[in-house]
Amino acid sequence: MRGLKDKRVVITGGASGIGAATAARFLEEGSKVAILDRDGPACARIRTELPAIAGTFLADVADYKQVQRAFGDMVVALGGLDVVINNAGISIRHKFLDITPEEWDKVLAVNLTGVFHVAQTAARYMMEHEGGVILNTASTNGIVGYPCYADYNATKAGVIELTRSMALELAPKVRVNAVAPGY
């Protein structure tokens, strides 16, 4: 990666897994990184593992008001905003006929509505300022689909289409892409 020195980066779901690895990589490139996550103990661990981060901010991406509050704090901590990595996501593995309405709602709330909340909040800021980049984490599940992941597959397909729409509407000031990790 090049050109990331001093970029101000927010990573959702950044306290563990792909998000934590992404945070570490951006820090290696000299970026200023803030992590948004709903897991307090994981945020405490990542602050120890990556002491160079600008901060961790507790919020559930499925809750619009929490996202709004956290973004205000993150922008202040970073001194602005250049890049948002929309990485937060959950998976509840069940056969299609066994998914409860509550489980369906929970997965959609985090994986799709959460991406919307964060992306829209970030895009509004970026459109009013110098622009920026929004990178949404989709999945190969949103392209191919896998058994026992109907809810997850549906959300990741939604992220892919949301990304396409955002890219068309926000260009050229805000660049929007998705990555689709697989197994």
Tokens of residue 126, six digits = 């970026």
Options 125, 146, 152, 183, the catalytic residue: 152
Q: Could you give the CA distance from residue 58 to residue 9 in angstroms, rounded to a whole number?
A: 16
DSSP string, 128-148: HTT-EEEEEE--GGGTT--TT
Cα 152 to its chain centre, rounded Å, is 15
Q: Is 152 labeled as catalytic in the residue annotation?
A: yes
The answer to whether the CB of 11 falls within 8 A of the CB of 22 is yes
Residues with active-site annotation: 152
